[in-house]
Structure 1
Amino acid sequence: MDGHAGDLGTATEPESGTEPVVGRDAELARLLRTVDPASAERVLMLVGDLGVGKSALLAHVARRAEADGTHVLRAEGSESESGLAFSALHQLLRPVAAEMDRLPERQRAALRDAFGAGPATPAQTTASDPLLIGVAILSLLSALGDRRPVLVVLDDAQWCDRASLDALAFAARRLDGDDPVTVLVATRNAHLPGLDRHIPTLTLEPLDDAAANQLLDLQPNSPTGRTRMQILDQAVGNPLALAELTRAASLHGTAASLTPAGPLPLTDRLERLFAARLDGLPAPTAQALLLLAAMDSVDSALSVQAGLPEAGDAVWLPAEEAALVRRAGRNVRFRHPLVRSAVYHFAPSDARRAAHRTLAELLRYEPDRRAWHRAASCPDPDAAVAAELERTAGRARRRGGYAAAAKALQRAAELAPEREGGARLLVEAARAAVFTGDLAWVEELAAAVRARTDDASLLTAATVQAGRLAALTVRHTAVFSRLADAADQLAAARPTTALDLLAGAAVVRFYSGEDAQRHRIQALLRRLPEDAAYLGLRTWVQTVSDPSGNRPHLASLLPRLSADAETRPERLVAVGIMAWLLDETPQAVRAFDAAFGRWELRGPLPEGLGGAVAWAYVERGRWGQAREGCARITAVGRSAGLDHAVACAAAVDATVLAYQGDSAAARTRAEDALALIDPLESRSVAVYARRALGAASAAEGAYESAYGQLRMAFTADGAPLHYHASYPSLADLAAAAVRTGRHKEATHIVERAARALAGNASPRLRALISRARGLLADPEDAEPHFRAALADPVLENWPFERAQTLLDFAEWLRRRRRIAEARAPLTEALETFRRLGARPWIERARAESRAAGLHVTDTPPDALAELTPQQQQIIRLAARGLTNREIAEKLFLSPRTVGSHLYRSFPKLGITARSQLRDLLEGFATPLISPTETGC
């Protein structure tokens, strides 16, 4: 742990078995406010250098919380266990194993599998869903919070395994005021995977001079004079250094000779100080210390078997007197991780290896930990140990521990006797590391492959893995060049690999919207074979990079590609994405539904253009499903550090929120998306976000703002900013333009788009252009355009867009005093808006209906519209018979949060029981309007 020297505030009295705390009054107050169950802040990350006092603060807060009746769960990161998937999570949850058994079956099974207690054989095991593990933790913490407040304390998080961090981060981000659960995380590194940027941070700075002097005054042998000045100078306000240098000075009489002067970092200085205390220790004590240092944190049960003396044994006394260990009850612990490091690294290498051999022999029934100890005992390459690590990696990967798998494979490569075998293991390590989102690590592994082998297949495999992840980052210009250059080099010798790389380059082209990239893709594609074996990849590259270039031909290939992919869910998803890009949205949704029916997308990495799934559901009017998809992409993208994927999901989510009338939430989500990307590098996301902001303004009737946002989807001269994302906004741009007097500019943009699309426009885009022309035309010329926009029955597959057109046409008809003709489109539009929950458009259609002489009832639909979009989602799922836990699992919320939303929603809906929901929602689906003979 970190900094157990006394280092908290002056107002804090030392407790039994602890040391006083100095100089941290403000920080302690902040932590105690966070832990208060009434606090709105549920997560806080405590950041500071080694020895600055993070652990002491956490220990003090945990004691206070326990005294107040809070259930405290603790875990400490362990450097030696950082390669063991879910080891920190296992440590954290061991005290509540009985509560884990009460989780829903899928969640319980996911946790059991994560902890290695799932199916016994690989054949029985499928890859764990990291998101389901996160939901299980959220459910577990929520259940514990039902009885009393919960405090989760994670110390030394920089050494926690990545799988545990991802799962805890997922749960922590979903805690809200309904859950009396607080998470405190201490780490040396502010850029902790999954936790940086997304949670509040409290940074511990070095103590000021007054606090440093006060801490020295509290030491058993408080230094004076020149020694005191030297300690203050060398410690630079670090509490651990102040305490340990004082201890050393009391033994040696001066601080000057304790540690080297000059540029040596404080960590190294302290480690050498601790190492110096090892000199002169009795041999049995030194041997016991080394074995303790080589153990993992959960190896204490093996201490007696390993030959370690019990805590009460006199062999520990010299180490305790040298301030190297602390004995508490039956346990012996190092005073600080630096002590463990000093004991381990300053021991002779053969002694370290012997310690690991001893531990490996005792861990024959724990194969993963045994493998790592065997690896640490190897002075030379060893094929058997490399194979054992490879098996460990396989188990970690099946449990969703991709970082642990990559680490094991990387170490296995170091131990592989043959260079080619090592290169193969490095490629596998890169394949696993892709799922962590750590591009630098993947590129490091790819570089190691290049340094180890000339084998073309291994080299290209490493390049493809790096490219796969690079395509999902925000560095589109650099990534495109890298992928295209690699495809160029491999075009002649390895056309399949070149096409794989070009497929990734096409995704980058879509994100960036850079037209020069389209030309390069087309040039490369002409160099690659056109036979049937490559049809799927070629169609993908053409469709993603230029969907309007030859749309009729590309669309004609979809049925064949769909048939070929029928039993391959991942290929069905690709077909669905292509169908969406070609405005064949019904076919896209069918492909996605079929794929999910065979294989729920449980991979931990959002694949390229994964946002297309959510967009297709938005267009088909399945908004709840779209938001569920956005929640999954956001969760996975944040865990993997893939800002672009998170931004894509935020833009889609913002659009749905705007359509539902939650303009404030829509703006927040859209601005989140824009903050995560460079708009010149990610034109697609920039346009989606502007469309969402435009919809949010239009929902409020702020048409000046709406026009300004939608105008940014096009360049200054009226060209689309993005070759696919800009076109669907044409009609909304026209609608805002007619309300702000910008007919001329909007007409120029619409007609330019119509000319650019020419014969390649989809029925959907032709309808949107016709709607835009109807809005912008002189009143006497508008009717043919509106009728053209509604003529094709296929347009019913875009219900919201069709309802908007119906409403615009009805308004035009009423203004032309053709009131009887206006009633049918008004009735259909209002029914659609109500079914979708598009509250602003419901209100506009109701007002227009009254003006057209229709009697519009006011109650049930408006009651549902009073709920937030998330509450509406929960209500609809509850009406389908899902329990709170099932809803929570689907929406990535805690069951308590779901229950709270239901509790607040029932009075607004005028009901008192869950059983009334189905009838209520069925009532919302009816038109509830009828013509009258009054009004004009």
Structure 2
Amino acid sequence: MDEHTGDRGAGREAEPDHPGEPIVGRETELARLFRAVDPMPADPVLMLAGEVGSGKSALLEHAVRRAAAGGARVLRAEGRESESSLAYSALHQLLRPVPAEVDALPERQRAALRDAFGEGPSASGPDLMLVGVAVLSLLSDMGEHQPMLVVLDDAQWFDRASLDALSFVARRLEGEPVTMLVGARGGDHVPGFDRNVPTLTLEPLDNAAAGQLLDLQPESPTGRTRSRILDQAGGNPLALVELARTASAQDPPAGLPAAGPLPVADHLERIFAARLSSLPASTTRALLLLAAMDSADSAIAVPAGLPPAEDPAWLPARQSGLVRRTGPDIRFRHPLVRSAVYHAASWGAQREAHLALAETLRDEPDRRAWHLAAACAHPDAAVSAELERTAGRARRRGGHAAAAQALRRAADLAPLREDSARLLVEAAAAAVFTGDIAWVEELVAAARTRTDDVALLATAAVQAGRLAVLTVRHTVVFSRLAAAAEQLAASRPAAALDLLSGAAVVRFYSGEDTQRHRIQEVLRRLPANASYAGLRTWVATVSDPFDGRARLVSSLPRLAAEAEDRPERLTAVGIMAWLLDETPQAVRAFDEAFDRWEAQGALPEGLGGAVAWAYVERGRWEQARAACARVTAVGRAAGLDHAVACAATVEATVLAFQGDASSARTRAEDALTQVDPLESRSVAVYARRALGAAAAAEGAYETAYDQLRMLFTADGTPTHYHACYPALADLAAAAVRCGRREEAVAIVERSASALADNASPRLRALISRARGLLADPEDAEPHFRAALADPVLEYWPFERAQTLLDLAEWLRRRRRVAEARGPLTEALEVFRRLGARPWIERARAESRAAGLDVTDAAPDALAGLSPQQQQIVRLAARGLTNREIGEKLFLSPRTVSSHLYRSFPKLGITARSQLRDLIEGTLATAAHQE
């Protein structure tokens, strides 16, 4: 790996050889930490937040000692500001003490970690999701032997790639013998850990505790000096200790800061800097070299000229409380000491230190490049090029934040303005994948100040727009994208179409009809060009799939053929096919794309939820939930609430179909809290559909109708131009059962009239089913038959099975029992294959009433399992190992094993080998329908 760890001792499992600091006034917080590291903690993850010097590290050290005394194994990583630009440096630091355990991982997981650390042969970089699974598996495996404690201190300085992997793990520790403690500065943003993570905040010490801490100092201050210290420290433990040390070392205590509102961190840094003036020159030089280093590893320390830990040069610094010895290394007592030492030095001394370090790092080009950059006072083309190469290596390992940081610095050092602007645009493109839209916009704005190049500025606008469409700011984002597209329509039509394609996605999410008109206006201004045909079709399909649907459908085979070797374009074709209700073609495109494309952890593309929805409609619910898991993990890591909300609505729908109404409601309500329903009508509609399905699964049809009625305005107009129509049949089914037939008829007919000849076969079938449900009994049959007439409707198995059940119920009530048995048998078979428990029960009850001998076939035993347990059992029945199942579902092998252990008694089996026979019939049916 090109990036070594931070302080060597931070990554080791050994205890430091310095005594623990006394804990005063933190008894409650310490007790909470002890509960966290004791067996069976309430929360597997705990964030410890506090300002500089509040005692986070000391408390974490006590927790480590408590855990170790209880038999836990401890892995630690400590954030370093200088390493925040080195991809996976924090994760490498954490796992560095356990190379044998890493080597024992399955090949794909081991390779993913090696690629992340720059040790593997992969040219394309690691699968970022697989990196997370690998870390989760490793910790879980180690936990089989003894409890695990993972301590992440100063996490606000962790590199983004490490944070993404570790937050992925943190969300999956429930039930694992692993506890994670995260220390971070209060108020700092720690991606992945600052939402829904239990947080223990360290407040300032009260006067009594502050006084007690002063009394414990070697020379406890008294009188006016004591009062000044208490006033200046503001309850900060480190400030109290260091101010007391300063006061005792001077008579009178002139080193105390003057009274005033100076921040505690600034107070402390001045105190540490003041101690430097009395140190010998050899000590000062050693301290500066240590401060300039991004690692204290002896492998580079000696060649760089850093004295060994036993050298007399360190003694004055240790006596002044600036450093301490930890095993074979010297470490600063606090990050603020490092900062004070570095900034107190002259520019010439700083430059000399960085050049000395760069000379020793010729075999580690990334770290060398950053030291060379730190030694540059003026633009330097060679160093800029080194940083650009560093960015390329970081990008290949999935370190998008590290790449963006390197490119940003490379831009600063580029002598030519056009090169600087180009590098800033490239930095923005890399930053897109962090999800930090403010950073992307900052980089784009900087690029605009350095160039007038229309093409480059167009590229910058496209990069900003790519991320903007994934946020919840739909109204603002649409206006910005549309305006930029209008400006570029004449001079840069390709860039204008790129921007317009993003605007179309925003239009889908928002459902705002005025946006469609503006998109059409810009399209009319763009010149016709065959090379832009694919983008034009995308914009037209996404913004209005019913306008000229036949023409749009006819273009799909050509676009699919053109995209054959381009997975990202295949995905776009799949999304268009899904929007046009060509679900079979959508699923084929997605399958082909994923066969050719090892996902690199990129952000969810615009309308990425279409993948999961297509799998739901096609009856491949396991794949739908796996797609949701990936979008959720990536979206949460990037802070993209809208992407997470989209995935939540799909998962909620599947949970409702499978009969887990409570979990479905939780997921749907989560989605509604993450977006503004007026800004994100598509998410609101999908969430209401899931809530309606959950209510219907429980037989609460009045509630189901109320939820689905919200999809339409008072006069029956759909609130979203695409997402509402598939709910028409469910609305009708609920209306019939709660006495709202007349109102539902008006809504269905209004939608049917609006769609007219542009309705897809699927929507025509759903409307026919709705009409059959709402019709007078003597008039219903032709509608049900029409809903089942087209053979292509078999590609929507759940919807077709619902219609079969409706027809069978109607036939039986008309005393045509013999005719009802065929549809009932077929419907029950589909419901069983899908694990749709509420509909299984309905179909079984109706089958018994029709005189069918309905036995509890073996596959029906799955109905007693949770949806996730069903997924795991089906994969295990196919012969997948626990590790392989974990990779697919983003779970640890231990969690998979636990689910199987709990599932076997419910299935009436005792061994894994019995699973295949148990559901062989179900799998055969699924394979036949595929």
TM-score (ref. length: structure 1): 0.96
Q: Is the counterpart of residue 655 in structure 1 residue 653 in structure 2?
A: yes
* Distance verdict in 2 for CA 1:486–1:166, change over 3 Å: same
Instruction: Choose which of 183, 186, 191 in structure 1 pairs with 2:183.
Output: 186
The residue type paired with residue 603 of structure 2 is L
The residue type paired with residue 184 of structure 1 is L
The residue type paired with residue 259 of structure 1 is P
CA distance in 2, matches of 1:116, 1:414: 26
The residue type paired with residue 860 of structure 1 is A
SS in 2 for 1:74: strand
SS in 1 for 2:182: strand
Asked whether the equivalents of residues 145 and 180 of structure 1 are also in contact (C-alpha less than 8 Å), the reply is yes
% same residue: 76
Moved more, 679-688 or 320-329: 320-329
SS in 2 for 1:304: helix
* Residue equivalent to 2:32: 30
CA distance in 1, matches of 2:814, 2:878: 44
Asked whether the equivalents of residues 655 and 661 of structure 2 are also in contact (C-alpha less than 8 Å), the reply is yes
The residue type paired with residue 44 of structure 2 is R
Structure 2: segments with no counterpart, 5+ residues: 7-15, 926-930
The residue type paired with residue 223 of structure 2 is G
Q: Deviations over 1:513-532 (max 9, x none)?
A: 01110110011111112232
1:257, distance to aligned residue in structure 2 (A):
5.0
* Residue equivalent to 2:58: 56
* Residue equivalent to 1:79: 81
Moved more, 485-494 or 194-203: 194-203
SS in 1 for 2:853: strand
* Distance verdict in 2 for CA 1:625–1:254, change over 3 Å: farther
Asked whether the equivalents of residues 69 and 149 of structure 1 are also in contact (C-alpha less than 8 Å), the reply is yes
The residue type paired with residue 127 of structure 1 is G
SS in 1 for 2:398: coil
* Residue equivalent to 2:417: 419
After superposition, residues 143-222 of structure 1 pair within 5 angstroms as 143-177=141-175, 179-188=176-185, 189-222=187-220
After superposition, residues 748-827 of structure 1 pair within 5 angstroms as 748-827=746-825
Asked whether the equivalents of residues 110 and 132 of structure 1 are also in contact (C-alpha less than 8 Å), the reply is yes
1:16, distance to aligned residue in structure 2 (A):
7.1
* Residue equivalent to 1:668: 666
Instruction: Choose which of 681, 684, 698 in structure 2 pairs with 1:683.
Output: 681
1:827, distance to aligned residue in structure 2 (A):
0.8
* Residue equivalent to 2:21: 19
* Residue equivalent to 1:506: 504
After superposition, residues 255-274 of structure 1 pair within 5 angstroms as 258-274=256-272
1:494, distance to aligned residue in structure 2 (A):
0.5
Q: Deviations over 1:703-744 (max 9, x none)?
A: 111111111111222111111111100110111111111111
* Residue equivalent to 1:137: 135
* Residue equivalent to 2:9: none
Q: Deviations over 1:425-463 (max 9, x none)?
A: 111111111110110111010011001111111111111
Asked whether the equivalents of residues 570 and 593 of structure 2 are also in contact (C-alpha less than 8 Å), the reply is yes
Q: Deviations over 1:877-928 (max 9, x none)?
A: 111111100100110000000011111111211122222211111144689x
* Residue equivalent to 2:111: 109
CA distance in 2, matches of 1:890, 1:106: 12
The residue type paired with residue 495 of structure 2 is T
The residue type paired with residue 96 of structure 2 is R
SS in 2 for 1:117: coil
1:861, distance to aligned residue in structure 2 (A):
3.1
CA distance in 1, matches of 2:376, 2:119: 29
Q: Deviations over 1:794-828 (max 9, x none)?
A: 11110000110111111111111111111111111
1:15, distance to aligned residue in structure 2 (A):
11
Moved more, 553-562 or 677-686: 553-562
Asked whether the equivalents of residues 231 and 255 of structure 1 are also in contact (C-alpha less than 8 Å), the reply is no
The residue type paired with residue 418 of structure 1 is L
Structure 1: segments with no counterpart, 5+ residues: 3-13, 928-936
Asked whether the equivalents of residues 227 and 254 of structure 1 are also in contact (C-alpha less than 8 Å), the reply is no
Detail structure 1 runs of 4+ shifted over 6 Å in the superposition: none
* Distance verdict in 2 for CA 1:924–1:492, change over 3 Å: closer
* Residue equivalent to 2:13: none
Asked whether the equivalents of residues 484 and 505 of structure 1 are also in contact (C-alpha less than 8 Å), the reply is yes
* Residue equivalent to 2:120: 118
1:268, distance to aligned residue in structure 2 (A):
1.2
After superposition, residues 592-611 of structure 1 pair within 5 angstroms as 592-611=590-609
CA distance in 2, matches of 1:256, 1:856: 92
1:510, distance to aligned residue in structure 2 (A):
0.4
* Residue equivalent to 2:913: 915
* Distance verdict in 2 for CA 1:218–1:773, change over 3 Å: same
SS in 2 for 1:739: helix
SS in 1 for 2:96: helix
Count of paired positions: 911
* Residue equivalent to 1:432: 430
* Distance verdict in 2 for CA 1:16–1:339, change over 3 Å: closer
1:18, distance to aligned residue in structure 2 (A):
2.3
* Distance verdict in 2 for CA 1:925–1:810, change over 3 Å: farther
Instruction: Choose which of 77, 89, 96 in structure 2 pairs with 1:94.
Output: 96
SS in 2 for 1:856: coil
1:570, distance to aligned residue in structure 2 (A):
1.1
Asked whether the equivalents of residues 175 and 181 of structure 1 are also in contact (C-alpha less than 8 Å), the reply is yes
CA distance in 2, matches of 1:244, 1:148: 39
* Distance verdict in 2 for CA 1:879–1:254, change over 3 Å: farther
Q: Deviations over 1:317-336 (max 9, x none)?
A: 22122211112342211110
Moved more, 817-826 or 592-601: 592-601
1:300, distance to aligned residue in structure 2 (A):
3.8
SS in 2 for 1:277: helix
Instruction: Choose which of 523, 528, 532 in structure 1 pairs with 2:521.
Output: 523
CA distance in 2, matches of 1:332, 1:594: 55
* Distance verdict in 2 for CA 1:254–1:850, change over 3 Å: farther
Moved more, 347-356 or 17-26: 17-26
* Residue equivalent to 2:571: 573
Q: Deviations over 1:36-69 (max 9, x none)?
A: 2312411111111111010000000001111111
TM-score (ref. length: structure 2): 0.96
CA distance in 2, matches of 1:668, 1:298: 48
SS in 1 for 2:551: helix
CA distance in 1, matches of 2:835, 2:732: 24
CA distance in 2, matches of 1:162, 1:154: 14
Asked whether the equivalents of residues 156 and 190 of structure 2 are also in contact (C-alpha less than 8 Å), the reply is yes
The residue type paired with residue 675 of structure 1 is T
Moved more, 914-923 or 99-108: 914-923
Asked whether the equivalents of residues 464 and 497 of structure 1 are also in contact (C-alpha less than 8 Å), the reply is yes
* Distance verdict in 2 for CA 1:15–1:82, change over 3 Å: closer
Asked whether the equivalents of residues 84 and 159 of structure 2 are also in contact (C-alpha less than 8 Å), the reply is yes
* Residue equivalent to 1:9: none
CA distance in 2, matches of 1:629, 1:259: 57
CA distance in 1, matches of 2:864, 2:441: 50
1:254, distance to aligned residue in structure 2 (A):
5.5
SS in 1 for 2:304: coil
After superposition, residues 627-666 of structure 1 pair within 5 angstroms as 627-666=625-664
Asked whether the equivalents of residues 685 and 724 of structure 2 are also in contact (C-alpha less than 8 Å), the reply is yes
CA distance in 2, matches of 1:618, 1:865: 18
SS in 2 for 1:305: helix
1:191, distance to aligned residue in structure 2 (A):
2.7
Moved more, 712-721 or 797-806: 712-721
Moved more, 194-203 or 480-489: 194-203
The residue type paired with residue 649 of structure 2 is A
